[in-house]
Structure 1
Amino acid sequence: MHVVATAGHVDHGKSTLVRALTGMEPDRWAEERRRGMTIDLGYAWTRLPSGETISFVDVPGHARFLGNMLAGIGPAPAVLVVVAADEGWRQQSTEHLAAVEALRLRHGLLAVTRSDLADPGPATEEALRRIASSSLGQVPAVQVSGATGAGLDELRSALDALVARLPAPDPAAAVRLWVDRAFTVRGAGTVVTGTLAAGTLRVDDVLSLRGRDVRVRGLQSLGEPHEHVTATARVAVNLRGVELDEVGRGDALLSPGSWRPSALVDVRLDPGDRLPAELTLHAGTAAVPTRVRPLDGDVARLSLAHPLPLAVGERLLLRDPGDGRIVGLSVLDTAPERLRRRGDARRRAEALRQGPEQPQDVLERRGFVPAGSLAADGVEAGGWLVARSRWAQWQEALRAACLEHQRAEPLSPGLPEGAAAAALGLPDPEVVAPLAAATGLERGSGRVRTAGWRPSLGAAEEAVRRIEDRLRNSAFDAPDLDELRSAGLGPRELAAAATAGRLLRLPGEVLLLPDGPARAMRVLAGLPQPFTVSQARTALGSSRRVVVPLLEHLDGRGWTKRAPDSSRTVRRP
């Protein structure tokens, strides 16, 4: 499973988009549905064309609920930025992007919603320009309408490419599950939910909660019970012997002995204006009143109202409750020594700037290493310096990993970059791209493969060939789901056929030849304009099951224009 948080201004269609993608209602409270505005975090999930499952954390866009938004985006590894075509970039768009930048999130996607109400071009251009200046950098953009469904298939494909780029989590890592919801289930007791970013949870595990041991009574993920759940995942944990008033948002379930909660933390602040002394620290889903003591320059000491389980190197953010200003920071020390003498603060800051001793083969990113420590014979890749001997080992290992993946997964379009980074033990997924280039491998859609390699349909080849022959004779006579299942064609086989350019895959597993849309346009251009779905169905000699997603696909390409009454007009003959 992959987890993606939304971000964007209030009323720009985040929840509508999640609802259209998943068929689930992310707004949990009656007040939210009555007001048509998300107040708290919402959750929904669906399966992507590749077969991967994606879970959305839908966040509120209103300025009054920025704290809730930060609780949702904090544990998420990727973000779907939403901007409305008819309103463009707005105030909360800026505030949410500031939070993304403060957390240094690097994986994202832009969805320009309500593209049926206005030309999405200007909003897309401005949003891409603003996002490019953040830690997300250049991101793909999809123009979509949650109301009409136009562009949803393109968005699903873009989400597939996004999650393929995400780094693989460590299933053996210590658990730190930030709680975002707590409630009671009749007959089961207290249940908490959260995003499991690393590690594995098992039924009967003993975890630490507020300094005491608690036992996992049961686990659910995506509404189904499990004996164990491995990151990344949305998970519900039934806790034995815990009352509802003993746990809530901002608490964390921890692997015992693996975390040392601290109320005193030394940090490096991102550049910015002078900060007030009293701020709120946001870590995971927690929001803790914090006092800031500058040590020297950009190094400061934080005194938290209560301890949090933090890790050296992780990104957190400080928020000024007064004006909403957000400042990012990196954790330098979670168990700092006390400052007793005059000059201790300056000396402490200087020591922290020197940082830990650097490994011999992989050095820290430029800007975080002492002057003169860069190896003269290192290879620079993705902001890292790597010893040439290690670089050569990684090249050999990456080629071998690609070959093994292609042998084991002939339907796959390539080894996901996140999986490649995990298999090689790379310090950062950003190293994969220059490493693949140096190794002579191909990259595309977040995957790596040997030059010239394409997915093999294997046992599915004959079934795909029969569909191709059928569509050549009757372009819009697409097989239904029962026929596909009988032929042994599931989501993975169909995704491989689409990736290979053999078939065009529309929502609802509607399959056409790649030139199907062009053939449809030649027919539709001959109809009286505008035309209805029924007229298009008759002219194409097909069913509503096929024609509706086909017309939505043409809308998304800009070849047809949909009117409020659902009639269409051909825009490009």
Structure 2
Amino acid sequence: MIVGTAGHIDHGKTALVRVLTGTDADRLAEEKTRGITIELGFAYADLGDGGITGFVDVPGHERFVHTMLAGAGGIDLALLVVAADDGVMPQTREHLAILDLLGVHRGVIALSKADLADDARRAEVTAQIAATLAGTGLNGAPVLPVSSVTGEGIETLRLTLAQAAAATKARALDRRFRLSVDRSFALKGSGTVVTGTVLSGQVSVGDTVTVSPRGLAARVRAIHAQNRPVQTGIAGQRCALNLAGDGVSRDAIHRGDMVLDPALHAPSDRIDATLRVLGSEPRPIGTWFPARLHSGAAEVGARIVPLAEALMPGAEGLVQLVLDAPLAASVGDRYILRDVSARRTIGGGVFVDLRAPARRRRTPERMLQLAAAAQPDAEQALRAMLAAPPFMVDLGVFIRDRALGPDAAARLAGAAVVLDAGGSNVALSADTHRQLVGAMLDTLARFHHEAPEMQGPGREKLRLALTPRLPKDAFAVLLSERIAAGDVVAEGAFLRLPTHIVRLSEADEALYLRILPELSGEARFRPPRVRDMATAWDIPETDVRRVLRMAARQGRVDQIRHDHYFLRATTAEMVGIIAEVQAEAPDGWVTAAAFRDRVQNGRKVAIEILDFYDRQGVTLRRGDLRRINPHRADLYGG
């Protein structure tokens, strides 16, 4: 269990930790001289539950609330200290508000300096504390009178903390590793050491990790968990990691960095989140409101963009947080906002989407998606997101941004239909997948009905006609599935239903029958050009070209060059002629001149024909020589 102290300056937090653990958490000379905590302090003790409880001692002065926030993230229980002589003070209230915003709902109230108050004063301050806790997550927390001077109540407090430690549940071990760095230093003989709370997962000696947001690769050389050397550190523990690697140094790693599983490295500078504004805030939160954002031990400048109307004091709503610098975070992380002068806490909330869009961020569809994503359970969130526009989720991003481990990822993949495109895995609900396949087949059927003379639509045209509109790589996977199932036939760049047969209109069929003799007979190797036929017959060239293109799609003719069409039977016959010339050639290679002489055509047209076969893979080319590719010789029935 990790215990975090909270409370006003000089209310005895550090002294209480010293009595409980035997460790002086004030480690800086200035702290000892001034008698106040400036930096985070850490201490550890076995309180009697058989485990090691870690204590994070935070500053109480208003100037160091940002340091308090660095230590408050990741604690299991708050030890709120209120001096019996002073009672509830401003920093008591602010620390309590911060704990509430961070979701810390387990706590013990230590009524410190009890030796300085009589029973009446104790009762008065206890009532004051109860009133202050009302409406917060710590409402009803036990209030225990204690004195670091006389020892009064210390054993009772120790027992209460031990019972709380025994009841503390293990954190998310099934998630990937994340540690929020609050200190980085160099240790003689060891090198760079970072400390922090393990937020999720586990890490072992020898593991490769990434320091985010910088993206610095490192290897774990040694681990101390709860102040003891171990081979593996787990979620919920305070750990010190001895790191090694190129560029790894105390100056390269800072408070607020995140040491994590390399698969999770994807920092964000634009995040959609929930925000609860404290009732003490003096004015509404409008668009582009400046603030300082605290998440884990990180602090970064931010601008707040409400996703509806301005948020009034005491209100809660969705906002977009535009950050001054990238942040390593996870969906579900809690954060705190303070004003830019660091004088007051504005509010806080939970990260909902780490990949927030800069545009169309307030559309009804976007609001539905955020409402779905805000559900705390990953599987419920995924199902809700798949039921809301745009009805698909990049499953890889969803899993990464929630730091989910392999087992959880496998469960999610089983709860959806996943189009695995290698670089991305697009998830759809079973209903959406079924509707999408139905819409694909209906769109092809409608196209065939409206244009029976056409082979079918192109792949991109079909993709753009469907809703939801899949990314190109995901659509390619879906299409491949349907082709393999026999629902769709692909012919080059065009798609059709298996039952569709291309038919020309009566007028187009009549024009084709007029063209056919020009491509047949003795002149079959020397057909007229499209424009020559159109000129001779005094009809639009576009009509002749259109009919020939449709005939090519039907497999009746082949377009050798822009202006030359050959009957498919002629195309196959010429493959046989190339094979004959090749067999007669001493070296087994065909020249353009030899082929030209056989088909009695001009050299230019002969080369165009051979180039066509090169493009189709029917012939293999070496300089100006060709030979039949045995693997494609039957492409035209040869």
TM bin, normalised by shorter chain, reads 0.5 to 0.7
| 1:238 to partner: Cα distance | 0.8
After superposition, the C-alpha distances for 1:20-45 in whole angstroms (9 at most, x for unaligned) are 00111100101101111000100001
Q: Matched residues in 1 for 2:88 and 2:146: separation?
A: 16
Residue 134 (structure 2) aligns with: 132
Q: Which residue of 1 aligns with 2:330?
A: 311
Q: Which of residues 225, 231, 234 is equivalent to 1:230? A: 234
Q: Distance in 2 between matches of 1:81 and 1:95?
A: 11
Cα gap change, 1:115 to 1:355, in 2 (>3 Å):
same
1:206-238 Cα distance to aligned partner (Å, 9 max, x none): 001121321111111344322222232111111
Q: 1:243 to 1:360 in 2, by over 3 A?
A: closer
Change (3 A) 1:285 1:106: same
1:24 aligned to 2:30?
no
Which string of whole-angstrom CA distances, capped at 9 and with x for unpartnered residues, describes residues 237-267 of structure 1?
A: 1111311210011111011113422111011
After superposition, residues 72-471 of structure 1 pair within 5 angstroms as 72-119=71-118, 120-209=122-211, 210-241=214-245, 242-272=248-278, 273-275=283-285, 277-297=289-309, 298-322=317-341, 323-339=343-359, 344-347=361-364, 350-352=367-369, 354-356=371-373
- TM-score using structure 2 length: 0.54
Provide closer, same or farther for how the CA distance between residues 295 and 165 of structure 1 changes in structure 2, counting only shifts above 3 A.
same
Distance 1:248 1:153, change over 3 A: same
The 3-state SS of whatever aligns with 2:70 is helix
CA change 1:200–1:143 in 2 (3 A) is same
The alpha-carbon deviation at position 346 of structure 1 amounts to: 4.3
Judge conservation of contact 2:257–2:328 (CA < 8 Å) in 1.
no
Which stretch of structure 1 is more off in the superposition, 50-59 or 312-321? 312-321
Amino acid at match of 1:115: A
The answer (yes or no) to whether the contact 1:132–1:139 under 8 Å persists in 2 is: no
Q: Any unmatched runs of 5+ in structure 1? A: 371-573
Deviation of 1:140 (Å): 1.4
Q: CA deviation at 1:334?
A: 0.7
Q: Distance in 2 between matches of 1:360 and 1:169?
A: 15
Residue 43 of structure 2 aligns with which residue? 44
Q: Distance in 1 between matches of 2:8 and 2:149?
A: 18
1:338 maps to a residue whose letter is: A
Write the distance in 2 (CA, Å) between the matches of 1:245 and 1:251: 12
Using the TM superposition, give the Cα deviation of residue 338 of structure 1 relative to its aligned residue in structure 2, in angstroms: 3.2
The C-alpha deviation readout for 1:385-408, integer Å capped at 9, x for no partner, is: xxxxxxxxxxxxxxxxxxxxxxxx
Change in CA separation of 1:321 and 1:356 when aligned onto 2, cut-off 3 Å: closer
SS of alignment partner, residue 362 of structure 2? helix
User: Is the partner of 2:209 in helix, strand or coil?
Assistant: strand
Shift of 1:357: 9.8
Contact 2:80 2:107 survives alignment (8 Å): yes
Structure 2 runs not aligned, ≥5 long? 310-316, 386-638
Is the CA contact (8 Å cut-off) linking 2:353 and 2:373 kept in structure 1? no
Given residue 339 of structure 1, which amino acid in structure 2 is its aligned partner?
A: R
Distance 1:214 1:27, change over 3 A: same
* 1:423-467 Cα shifts (integer Å, max 9, x gaps): xxxxxxxxxxxxxxxxxxxxxxxxxxxxxxxxxxxxxxxxxxxxx
More helix by share: 2
For 1:101 and 1:249, the matched residues in 2 are separated by 23
Instruction: Give percent identity, aligned residues only.
Output: 39
The amino acid that maps onto 2:274 is R
In structure 2, C-alpha distance between the alignment counterparts of 1:363 and 1:163, rounded to whole Å: 30
Change (3 A) 1:302 1:123: same
Assess if the C-alpha contact under 8 Å between 2:180 and 2:199 holds in 1: no
SS of 2:222's partner is: strand
Q: 2 CA distance for matches of 1:361 and 1:296? A: 25
Once the 2 structures are TM-superposed, how far is the Cα of residue 312 of structure 1 from its aligned partner? Answer: 2.1
Post-superposition shift, 1:137? 2.4
Contact 1:295–1:346 (CA<8 Å) still a contact in 2? no
Q: Kindly state the Cα deviation for residue 102 of structure 1 after the two structures are TM-superposed.
A: 1.1
Q: Deviations over 1:521-541 (max 9, x none)?
A: xxxxxxxxxxxxxxxxxxxxx
Query: Pairwise CA RMSD of aligned residues?
Result: 2.6
Q: 1:177 Cα shift?
A: 0.5
**C-alpha separation in 2, matches of 1:357 and 1:53:** 34
Q: CA deviation at 1:205?
A: 0.7
Select between 162-171 and 43-52 the one with higher mean Cα deviation. 162-171
SS of 1:246 mapped into structure 2: coil
CA separation of 1:154/1:85 partners in 2, compared to 1, >3 Å: closer, same or farther? same
Q: C-alpha distance in 1, partners of 2:162/2:58?
A: 21
The amino acid of 1:295's aligned partner reads L
Amino acid at match of 1:8: G
Contact 2:70 2:182 in 1 (8 A): yes
Alignment partners' CA distance in 1, 2:132 and 2:207: 45
In 2, Cα distance between the equivalents of 1:132 and 1:159?
A: 22
What CA distance in whole angstroms lies between the structure 2 residues aligned with 1:296 and 1:137? Answer: 31
CA contact (8 A) 1:299 1:349 kept: no
| Number of equivalences | 364
| Rounded Cα–Cα distance in structure 2 between residues aligned with 1:182 and 1:201 | 18
Q: Work out whether residues 352 and 373 of structure 2, in 8 Å CA contact, stay in contact via their aligned partners in 1.
A: no
The alignment partner of 1:345 has SS state of coil
Q: Distance in 1 between matches of 2:73 and 2:196?
A: 11
Q: What is the Cα deviation at residue 361 of structure 1? A: 13
Contact 2:187 2:193 in 1 (8 A): yes
Instruction: Assess if the C-alpha contact under 8 Å between 1:75 and 1:285 holds in 2.
Output: no
CA contact (8 A) 2:337 2:346 kept: yes
* Structure 1 counterpart SS, 2:263: coil
Q: Given that residues 285 and 306 in structure 2 are in contact (C-alpha distance below 8 angstroms), is that contact kept between their aligned partners in structure 1?
A: no
> Is 1:98–1:326's contact at 8 Å kept on the other side of the alignment?
no
Please give the alpha-carbon distance, in whole angstroms, between the structure 2 residues aligned to 1:275 and 1:312. Answer: 23
**Greater RCO structure (CA 8 Å; 6+ sep):** 1
**Cα distance in 2 between the residues matched to 1:185 and 1:34:** 25
Cα distance change, pair 313–234 in 1 and its aligned pair in 2 (3 A): closer
Amino acid at match of 2:330: A
Shift of 1:186: 1.1
Distance in structure 2 (CA, Å) of the matches to 1:244 and 1:358: 38
Q: Distance in 2 between the 1:280 and 1:143 partners? A: 36
Contact 2:205 2:222 in 1 (8 A): yes
Contact 1:140 / 1:158 at 8 angstroms: preserved in 2?
no
Distance 2:239 2:232 in 1: 10
CA contact (8 A) 2:225 2:239 kept: yes
Calculate the TM-score normalised by the size of structure 1. Answer: 0.60
CA contact (8 A) 1:319 1:325 kept: yes
